[in-house]
């Protein structure tokens, strides 16, 4: 039996040992991509996972923890914050439309690092007798894109079999913002990952009741967005955002990204509702 503290300490030890958290960027040099993660826990049978099947949240394709892993007891979510070097390089004061090289590497090579970290976690805990599943690395993972039209405003909705942001919300790590990112105690600029295990751990208290409690609706992400994809009334329009990211992919392939809504904003590296 693990305590939450023992489990986290082992996870963070594996995080430090996993290779690939430093990117060697031409013309810039070595850049550390992620700070040490935040971790949160949810009971696998928590009814919140069932609510994610609602069409207006994720959709019918969403798979609950026990569907991914029979006998599941706990969902563990991690938020990996980008380092200050990555965040500041992508500030709109340097370039208002294109992502920085540091951000592009952290988005692509950084995601590859997260995959190695999560695979190492799975192997580590399976060696210790528990069963584990990383949905994002599972062959069953997939996303169904559904186009919608509210009035004269076309958009699309991703009906995903698993959502890292929603898992993080369930695990007490944070709430959503206007840009549809999740705001944690260490802000929004970073990436999420999760693992489902058969070990029973204490759930993290969700210190919020609304889905957007940490967002102060300051409008900073609206001003930063080069695609004009965010508004106070509608939040983020996925079509506009995706078109801009595709433009960046054509320009910087094999890397792509944007992230302007996550930097130079009050929720970049803190929870602004507590200021």
* pLDDT tens string 46-82: 999 999 999 989 999 999 999 999 999 999 999 999 9
Tokens linked to 106? 């952290």
Residue 171 burial (CB count, 10 A): 27
CA distance 18 to 40: 20
Domain-located, residue 110? yes
Contact call for residues 61 and 160 (beta carbons, < 8 A): yes
Domain-located, residue 173? yes
CA distance 170 to 158: 18
Q: Please give the distance of CA 270 from its chain centroid, rounded to a whole number.
A: 15
Bridge partners for 34 per DSSP: 82
| Per-residue model confidence (pLDDT) at position 170 | 98
Q: Does 254 sit behind a cis peptide bond, omega within 30 degrees of 0 on the bond before it?
A: yes
Domain-located, residue 273? no
Domain of residue 64 covers 4-266
CA atoms within 13 Å, Cβ hemisphere of 112: 11
Bridge partners for 25 per DSSP: 29
* Cα dist from 41 to 71, 191, 195, 200, 206, whole Å: 16, 17, 10, 10, 10
Query: Nearest 5°: phi and psi at 116?
Result: -65, -40
Domain-located, residue 271? no
| Per-residue model confidence (pLDDT) at position 144 | 84
Domain count of the chain?
1
Domain-located, residue 275? no
Contact call for residues 192 and 77 (beta carbons, < 8 A): yes
| Per-residue model confidence (pLDDT) at position 150 | 59
Domain-located, residue 93? yes
| Per-residue model confidence (pLDDT) at position 148 | 72
Domain-located, residue 69? yes
Domain-located, residue 87? yes
Give the residues of the chain that fall short of pLDDT 70: 149-156, 275
* Residue showing tokens 């990952």: 193
| Per-residue model confidence (pLDDT) at position 26 | 96
259 sits in the region (left: phi over 0; alpha: psi -120 to 50; else beta) called left
């Amino acid at each position: 039996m693990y305590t939450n503290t023992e489990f986290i300490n082992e996870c963070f030890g594996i995080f430090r040992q996993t290779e690939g958290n430093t990117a060697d960027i031409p013309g810039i040099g070595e850049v550390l991509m992620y700070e040490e993660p935040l971790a949160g826990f949810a009971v696998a049978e928590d009814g919140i996972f069932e609510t994610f099947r609602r069409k207006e949240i994720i959709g019918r394709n969403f798979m609950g923890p026990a569907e991914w892993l029979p006998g599941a007891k706990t969902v563990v979510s991690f938020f990996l914050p980008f380092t200050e070097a990555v965040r500041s390089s992508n500030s709109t004061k340097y370039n208002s439309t294109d992502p920085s090289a540091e951000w592009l590497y952290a988005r692509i090579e950084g995601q590859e690092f997260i995959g190695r970290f999560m695979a190492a976690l799975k192997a580590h805990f399976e060696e210790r007798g528990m069963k584990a599943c990383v949905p994002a690395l599972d062959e069953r993972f997939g996303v169904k894109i559904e186009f919608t039209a509210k009035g004269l405003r076309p958009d699309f909705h991703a009906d995903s079999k698993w959502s890292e942001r929603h898992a993080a919300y369930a695990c007490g790590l944070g709430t959503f913002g206007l840009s549809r990112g999740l705001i944690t105690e260490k802000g929004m600029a970073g990436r999420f990952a999760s693992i489902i295990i058969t070990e029973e751990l204490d759930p993290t208290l969700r210190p919020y009741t609304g889905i957007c409690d940490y967002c102060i609706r300051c409008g900073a992400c609206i001003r930063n967005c080069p695609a004009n994809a965010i508004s106070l009334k509608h939040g983020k329009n996925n079509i506009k955002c995706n078109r801009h990211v595709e433009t960046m992919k054509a320009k910087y392939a094999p890397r792509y990204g944007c992230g302007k809504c996550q930097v130079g904003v009050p929720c970049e590296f803190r929870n602004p509702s507590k200021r």
